[in-house]
Each structure stands twice: as structure tokens, then as C-alpha cells.
């Protein structure tokens, strides 16, 4: 894996997860998951229990 380009190595390490809890890699993963859960507009996922465009949708509306 050492000759592999960095982005591919990062993707592989995210997929083939060998890090312990309470490491910076774990923190990055947790923040990414929380960002997906909280920022993705429920409408995009067709959430049966939530609606609205969420923070991303609001930002896109502002930028329009």
C-alpha cells in the first residue's frame, strides 16, 4: 500500500478500518458521520419521519 497514491490510501484505510477508539482517525470518522446525519436534508433521503431541507438545503437556498 506504500506506493499507492494518498487519496486512495485514505479511502482504503477508511474502508479497511483498523484504528482504535479515541484516536484522531476515529474522531475524523465520527465527525464525518455526524456531519452526514445532521447536515443531509431529510428530503434528499426521503426520510419517512422528518422533512425539510436541513442546513445544506438552507445554504443552497441562500446561495441561489
With contacts defined by CB under 8 A, name the span among 3-11, 32-40, 55-63 that binds other proteins.
32-40
Q: How many CB atoms within 10 Å of residue 54?
A: 19
Q: Does 18 help bind other proteins (rule: CB under 8 A)?
A: yes
Smaller CB distance to other proteins: residue 4 or 23? 23
Q: Does 1 help bind other proteins (rule: CB under 8 A)?
A: no
* 43 close to 51: Cβ distance less than 8 angstroms: yes
Smaller CB distance to other proteins: residue 36 or 58? 36
Cα(8)–Cα(48) distance, integer angstroms: 35
What are the DSSP E strand ranges found in 1-64? none
Q: Out of 46, 62, 63, 64, name the contact with other proteins by CB under 8 A.
A: 46
Amino acid at each position: 500500500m506504500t506506493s499507492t497514491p494518498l487519496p486512495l490510501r485514505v479511502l482504503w484505510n477508511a474502508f479497511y478500518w483498523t484504528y482504535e477508539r479515541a484516536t484522531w482517525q476515529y474522531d475524523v470518522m465520527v465527525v464525518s458521520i455526524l456531519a452526514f446525519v445532521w447536515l443531509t436534508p431529510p428530503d434528499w433521503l426521503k426520510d419517512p419521519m422528518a422533512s425539510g431541507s436541513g442546513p445544506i438545503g438552507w445554504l443552497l437556498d441562500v446561495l441561489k
